[in-house]
């Protein structure tokens, strides 16, 4: 019934890929390729920013921490973005938690080097600010989505987002993790997932999820999906 797929295309971070050749060449020596593991915490609120990460195929979850009991995912970051917006805006510390949702590679640069590079005001700066903007839009929209839409729709939305970022209909995510992302009970996810499976839109087992009917799932998802999906295009 289920099949694990771990194959991985070697697609680089899009922001870096968009840089002019010269700037890219000059920049590369500053970067170090790192491999990040699922569950790893890249940042905690209040923590000093040491590194900026540009995901290749790793998937990062950005989470607002309210207190011990409450935390809520506000954005999902893949190769279209980067971790460390705060540094680009002149802040010294993170305000959110960043955890690895799916293991993979990323390019990492030291905070100081990053800031210096931005001073030059080149293409990197432009890309970084541009992304910052769409990240803000994403966060704001997700906020409203979490406020208004039912768990089932939000779950569909979230699964589709992951699919798009991962580039595959198969990925791993437990109900527990999803519940933390959507800010609901684990049982709430189980129930919603159950309903989606009953309609043959998805299939899952012990953390392995498969989208079996993407088009159908899109119909169930709230319109927020469409909005967030290509938010980086319409900025």
Give whichever of 29 and 121 is closer to a second copy, judged by the CB atom.
121
**Interaction with DNA in 146-165: which residues (CB under 7 A)?**
150-152
Can you tell me the distance from the alpha carbon of 42 to that of 90, in angstroms, rounded to the nearest whole number?
Answer: 19
- Number of residues in contact with DNA under rule CB under 7 A: 22
Q: Count CA within 13 A, CB hemisphere, residue 112.
A: 0
Nearest Cα residue to 85 out of 68, 62, 66: 62
184 lies in the site for DNA, by CB under 7 A: yes
196 binds, among a second copy, DNA, none (CB under 5 to 8 A by kind): none
Is position 181 an interface residue for a second copy (rule: CB under 8 A)? no
Indicate the DSSP class of residue 93. Answer: B
Nearer to DNA, 69 or 234 (CB): 69
The two tokens of residue 190 are 């189980």
Backbone torsion region of residue 32, taken as left when φ is above 0, otherwise alpha when ψ lies between -120 and 50, otherwise beta: beta
> Mask: binding to DNA, 198-217, rule CB under 7 A, as x and -?
------xxxx----------
Q: Is 206 in the site for a second copy (CB under 8 A)?
A: no
Question: Which one among 58, 74, 100, 210 touches a second copy, defined by CB under 8 A?
Answer: 74
**148 near a second copy, rule: CB under 8 A:** yes
62 binds DNA (CB under 7 A): no
Cα–Cα–Cα angle for 31, 35, 40, rounded to 5 degrees: 115
186 part of the interface to DNA, by CB under 7 A? yes
The CA-based angle 91-92-95, given to 5 degrees, is 75
The three-class DSSP label of residue 74 is strand
CA-angle at 63, arms to 62 and 67, nearest 5°:
165
123 binds a second copy (CB under 8 A): no
Among 84, 129, 99, which Cα is nearest to 37's?
Answer: 99
- Positions in the binding site for a second copy (CB under 8 A): 64-67, 70-72, 74, 85-86, 88-91, 95-96, 119, 121, 126, 129-130, 132-133, 135-137, 139-148, 183, 223-224, 235
- Positions in the binding site for DNA (CB under 7 A): 2, 150-152, 174-176, 183-188, 190-191, 193-194, 197, 204-207
């Amino acid at each position: 019934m289920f099949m694990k797929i771990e194959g991985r295309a070697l697609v680089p971070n899009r922001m870096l890929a968009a840089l002019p050749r010269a700037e890219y060449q000059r920049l590369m020596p500053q970067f170090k390729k790192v491999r990040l593991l699922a569950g790893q915490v890249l940042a905690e609120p209040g923590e000093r920013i040491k590194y900026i990460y540009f995901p290749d195929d790793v998937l990062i979850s950005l989470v607002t921490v309210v207190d011990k009991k409450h935390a809520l995912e506000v954005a999902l970051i893949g190769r279209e973005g980067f971790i460390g917006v705060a540094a680009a805006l002149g802040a010294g510390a993170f305000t959110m938690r960043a955890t690895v949702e799916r293991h993979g590679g990323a390019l990492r640069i030291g905070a100081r080097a990053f800031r210096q590079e931005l001073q030059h005001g080149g293409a990197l700066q432009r890309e970084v600010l541009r992304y910052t903007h769409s990240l803000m839009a994403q966060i704001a929209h997700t906020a409203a989505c979490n406020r208004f839409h039912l768990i089932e729709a939000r779950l569909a939305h979230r699964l589709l987002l992951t699919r798009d970022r991962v580039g595959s209909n198969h990925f791993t995510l437990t109900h527990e993790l999803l519940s933390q992302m959507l800010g609901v009970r684990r049982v709430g996810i189980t129930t919603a997932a159950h309903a989606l499976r009953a309609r043959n839109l998805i299939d899952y087992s012990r953390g392995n999820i498969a989208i079996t009917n993407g088009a159908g799932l899109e119909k169930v998802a709230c319109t927020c999906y469409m909005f967030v999906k290509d938010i980086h295009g319409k900025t």
